[in-house]
Amino acid sequence: METTDNGHNFIIHANDFKPNKERDFLHKAKDNIEILSDVETNEMLLKTAFELVSLKVKSDEELDFWEICKIKFTEEDSNFEKELKESFINEIKILNRLLIDDKFYSIDSFQYFDLSLLEKDNEIVKSIYSLVSQFRILPHFDLYCEISKYINNWNIHIGENFKLLTLEDIGKIVAEESGLNYFYIQDKKAYKQFIKEISSNISLLNSLALIPNIHGCFMNLEQLVKWNKIENELIDVIQNINYSISKKYLHQDFYFIENITDYNREKFKDDFSKFCNQLNDDFAKNEGQSSLT
Burial readout 209-246 (b: 16 or more C-beta within 10 A, e: otherwise):
bbbbbbeebbbebebbbbbeeeeeeebeebeeebeebb
What pLDDT, on a 0 to 100 scale, did the predictor assign at position 214?
95
pLDDT at 2: 47
pLDDT over 70 for what percent of the chain?
85
* CA distance linking residue 76 with residue 81, whole number of Å: 9
pLDDT at 21: 45
Distances (CA, A) of 42 to 1, 29, 35, 38, 171: 10, 10, 10, 6, 49
Q: pLDDT by residue for the chain (293 residues), tens digit each?
A: 445 455 666 666 655 555 544 445 544 555 555 566 777 777 888 898 889 999 999 999 988 999 989 999 998 888 888 999 999 999 999 999 999 999 999 999 999 999 999 999 999 999 999 999 999 999 999 999 999 999 999 999 988 789 999 999 999 999 999 999 999 999 999 999 999 999 999 999 999 999 999 999 999 999 999 999 999 999 998 988 888 899 999 999 999 999 899 999 999 999 999 988 888 877 777 766 655 55
DSSP 3-state of 115: helix
Q: 117 and 128 in contact (C-beta within 8 Å)?
A: yes
Contact 41, 17 (CB under 8 A): yes
Q: Where are the domains of the chain?
A: 1-108, 110-198, 210-292
Q: What is the pLDDT of residues 181-217, one digit of tens each?
A: 999 999 999 999 999 999 999 999 999 999 999 999 9
174, exposed or middle or buried, with CB in 10 Å at 0-12, 13-18, 19+?
A: buried
Spatial neighbors of 261 by CB under 8 A, at least 6 apart, are: 224, 225, 226
Three-state DSSP class for residue 261: strand
The pLDDT assigned to 179 comes to: 96
CB-side exposure of 203: number of CA atoms within 13 Å?
A: 1
Q: Tell me the pLDDT tens digit for each residue of 140-168.
A: 999 999 999 999 999 999 887 899 999 99
| Alpha helices, H only, the chain | 36-59, 65-68, 79-92, 115-118, 122-132, 141-158, 167-177, 188-198, 202-207, 232-241, 243-246, 265-292
